[in-house]
Amino acid sequence: MLVMQEMSEVINNAGWSRFELEEEGKLAFADYHKSDGILTISHVEADPALRGRGTAGRLMEGVLRSAREQELKVRPLCGYAAAYIQRYEKHHDLLA
């Protein structure tokens, strides 16, 4: 039997300046700062129980979709965020 997993939505928790994605009751998040049309991603972290399952990638897709919708450029200070953007050419135009 095929079980469909409900996809969680990436939310912008502006009060904490971070994007969040909750899956299976656990949290992945990306800390950010916005200034002068640039979204600076300083840190990306996923709960250890979510690592290796694509959660951080789904989080990054939501973050980058939001940046594109807001017409922001992205400056990834976090190594994971920088590597993720470099891995996918479709996001290269977002780099500040």
Residue-range domain boundaries for the chain: 11-94
**pLDDT surpassing 70 at residue 1:** no
Give residues with Cβ within 8 angstroms of 41, minimum separation 6: 30, 31, 32, 63, 74, 75, 76, 77, 78, 81
Percent of the chain with pLDDT over 90: 91
Percent of the chain with pLDDT over 70: 93
Q: How confident is the model at residue 2 (pLDDT cuts 50, 70, 90)?
A: very low
Give CA 46 to chain center in angstroms.
10
* Selected residue with higher pLDDT from 2 and 41: 41
Q: Which fold has domain 11-94?
A: Aminopeptidase (3.40.630)
Would the pTM of this model clear 0.95, i.e. be above it?
no
Indicate the average pLDDT of the chain. Answer: 92
